[in-house]
Amino acid sequence: MPNRSTGDEPKHDAQRRTPSSRILAQNHAMPNMMNELVSSPRTTPFVLALVCGLMLAHDVRAQGSGEEANAKPRILILPTQSQEGVSEVVPGRVDRYLKQLLDISGQAEFYTLETLEVPVVEEKVEIPVEDARLKKADNLLWDAKELMGKGKFYKAAATFKKSMKLYESRFDVLVDFNKYIDGALGVALAYFYAGQAFEGERALKRVLSFRPDLILDKRKVPKEALEILSKLQRLQTSSALTSVRIESTPPGAEVFIDGIRAGETPFQARNMVRGVHVVRMVLDGHQSYAKSISMSGKGHVVKGKLKPLKVQKDAAPKFRSPEPLVTLLQQGKFGTRFLRIAAQVSRFYNIENIVMGYARKNKNRYEMATFIWERERNRIAELDWISLDPELSDMQVNLLNLEGQVLSGLAAFPVSRKLTGPSDIYVNIEARRRAAEQKAKEEEKRRLELQIIREAREAERAAKEREKRKILEAQRAEREARRQAKEAAAEAAKQERIRKRNAKLAVAEAAKQERLRKRNAKLAAAEAAKQERIRKRNARLEAERLEREARSTRTAAENRERDRRLAEEARRAKEDREARERYRQNEARRLKEERRRAARAGEDDEVARLAELERRAREEAARLADARRQAEQARADRARDRRAADRREEERRAERERREASRVAEATPPPASGSGALEWMNDPDNVVEPYDAAGVWYKKWWVWAGTGAVVAVIGGTLLLTGDEPAEGFRASASW
């Protein structure tokens, strides 16, 4: 076997492989018969992995058995219920003290409705069992090695090939890849021992693709095999290498190439020998993936999809709230419904027993009955009653006795005290309930009798009322007929008067409409003249606007030209200042240089002369600076005066435009608000011209006042005439 098949890969597998891989490693770790043909043994890591696995399994089993032995039963304590008249303090204190006593006993885990938690269903990963094909392949591998020892080389080669086929079918779960290499090497050596060098060379090529640095013991293999091995290794060294990229879904899986761990996906394997290789990917919680590829080109890609292992969830019972049990306990109903709900609650919360109590008041003491429900029998037992002082002074002593009863009942269900019917603790309630029901029935019967009598009286009264209403309706109908006859006659006379009056009003309205038509025609002519004046005024305003725009355009052009001239003057002034500054600096440097020369020569008069020249130069520079400031101030004053003049001109122009707009608005009358012929009556001052030479007489108040008076007199005369009933009159008028 090749020396590269060291113990690193099996040792790594023992640490990181899935549970199924650990089982296979324990079951298939077997001695390698081909160790005599290679340079280093491989069995020690396998033995260590097997021992560690057995110890781990033993610890897990011991821990599991210890947990099962120490598991305590789960007991649910329902709140104590009480009869009417029992103070709420009694059941509360009893529950609290009894719960403390039971918790101190430590014989079970006691829960109340507040501390009961919904169980969490744990997921269990299905652990695959030992693979039958791999076990059969191991047996065939042993058989082939035995045949090799007996000298049956052809039969051994055939058996080796059978084991290799079984290994190839289960590459995904084959942890010890060296077994497959043992089979391939066994085929090659069997052919060499049988004298079939050609077949042996073909089989040896397959082994070298997995283990290129294979070393054989020259003392135990044919010389021809050693020569062919050396030749094949030289050819592999001179041949080109290839690469493969391995990816998995999900990523992060361990990559084994020919049984040797290479890395994690995504992984790039380089400098691979060309030939057949087996890529295997392993990821916790997922099924392993393996693929055999033949590498002959420059690059290959292997993409594996790892399926998750099957997850088996415990069948969670259907949720059932224990609240209905409290209601049934209060009512004392321990029948089929109570047992069914208790069984459902027990399955969901994994409850072994249910402890519950009921208290009633008997004369001057409290009596309390305790019940225990057991899941195994699905039955209820009633324990001995206890009696409590009204002040609960003896509660602790009595509850100690009750605690002993409860613990005894939980340890061994008291079959002799099994509850077969209603408990006597509820007798008072039942009697009161039956009395209340009887009283309610009697009240209902009395109410029905009164209802019948009341309905009979109501029916008699309704009959009398109907008869009386019929008589009154007949009298009212007769009076209504006489009144309608009188009203019809009066209405006919009134309609005749209205017809005559409407005819007169129609003639007057026709004359009025004619007058209105003539006036509207005159108003239309006046409106046309006004619109013509408005059009001319708008044309004049438009011309003035255009003139103002032209003037503004000219002003803007003049301003731009003025700004340009100012900028040019500023530029020239800046250039003059810069030239004068340069001249001054040059003069200063020259004078400084002459002073230094004069100082070196010791000519004091020359120094004085130069100092005088320098003083004059400074005075000239100051004078020039004053002249420059005065010129700039004059330019700024001229620019400010021009801007002020422009501003005043703009204000005068705006004032003229405002006055013109105000004059036009005052001269323009508001538009008419309607088109009706009587709209002029609502605006007496909006008259352009008088109606006639006599004046607008129809707009005077006394005209309309006199007209109203005449109409009122005529209407009153018409209304007061005609035949009217003696008790009053009914009249109507329409305009």
Tell me the CA distances in angstroms from 111 to 277, 380, 647, one per residue in order: 62, 19, 97
| Residue listed under structure tokens 């009286």 | 457
The answer to whether residues 407 and 266 belong to one domain is: no
Are 138 and 30 a contacting pair, CB within 8 Å? yes
The residue from 400, 422, 444 where one domain ends is: 422
The answer to whether residues 303 and 227 belong to one domain is: no
Q: Alpha helices, DSSP H only, in 151-196?
A: 153-169, 178-193
The answer to whether residues 256 and 149 belong to one domain is: no
| Residue listed under structure tokens 């030749």 | 231
- How many helical (H) and strand (E) elements, i.e. helices and strands, does the chain have? 15, 16
**Residue percentage of the chain with pLDDT more than 90:** 19
Are 265 and 247 a contacting pair, CB within 8 Å? yes
The answer to whether residues 382 and 265 belong to one domain is: no
Looking at the domain assignment, is residue 314 inside a domain?
A: no
| Backbone torsions φ then ψ of 675, nearest 5 degrees | -120, 5
Strand partners, 550: none
Mean pLDDT (whole number) for 256-285: 89
> Distance between CA atoms of 13 and 52, rounded to whole angstroms?
13
Which pLDDT value is given to residue 27?
37
Residue 680 has pLDDT above 70, yes or no: no
Question: How does residue 524 score in pLDDT terms, banded at 50, 70 and 90?
Answer: very high
Range with top average pLDDT, 362-371, 493-502, 669-678: 493-502
The answer to whether residues 40 and 100 belong to one domain is: no
Burial of 541 (0-12, 13-18, 19+ CB in 10 A): middle
The residue from 385, 401, 422 where one domain ends is: 422
> Distance between CA atoms of 285 and 369, rounded to whole angstroms?
54
| Dihedral Cα 667, 669, 670, 675, nearest 10 deg | -160
From 19-33, 174-188, 418-432, 669-683, the region with the lowest mean pLDDT: 19-33
> Distance between CA atoms of 621 and 585, rounded to whole angstroms?
11
Q: Which helix (H) or strand (E) holds 111?
A: strand 109-111
Residue 64 has pLDDT above 90, yes or no: no
The answer to whether residues 107 and 134 belong to one domain is: no
Tell me the CA distances in angstroms from 572 to 568, 575, 580, 584, one per residue in order: 6, 5, 12, 18
Query: By residue range, what is the domain housing residue 587?
Result: 429-667
| Backbone torsions φ then ψ of 328, nearest 5 degrees | -65, -35
The answer to whether residues 142 and 200 belong to one domain is: yes
Nearest to 7 by CA among 65, 55, 67, 49: 49
Tokens of 192: 């060499």
The answer to whether residues 343 and 411 belong to one domain is: yes
The answer to whether residues 475 and 579 belong to one domain is: yes
Looking at the domain assignment, is residue 135 inside a domain?
A: yes
Nearest to 87 by CA among 385, 331, 389, 323: 389
Tokens of 675: 């088109």
* Long-range contacts from 538-546, C-beta under 8 angstroms, 24+ separation: 541/660, 541/664, 544/660
Which pLDDT value is given to residue 34?
43
Looking at the domain assignment, is residue 122 inside a domain?
A: no
Which strands form 275-282's sheet, in the order they lie side by side? 260-264, 254-257, 275-282, 289-295
From 34-43, 248-257, 290-299, 590-599, the region with the lowest mean pLDDT: 34-43
Mean pLDDT (whole number) for 666-686: 50
Looking at the domain assignment, is residue 686 inside a domain?
A: no
The residue from 214, 238, 262 where one domain ends is: 238
The answer to whether residues 206 and 85 belong to one domain is: no
Q: How many structural domains is the chain composed of?
A: 4
The answer to whether residues 408 and 531 belong to one domain is: no
Question: How does residue 100 score in pLDDT terms, banded at 50, 70 and 90?
Answer: confident
**Within a 10 A sphere around the Cβ of 325, how many other Cβ atoms?**
22
The answer to whether residues 477 and 619 belong to one domain is: yes
Mean pLDDT of the chain: 79
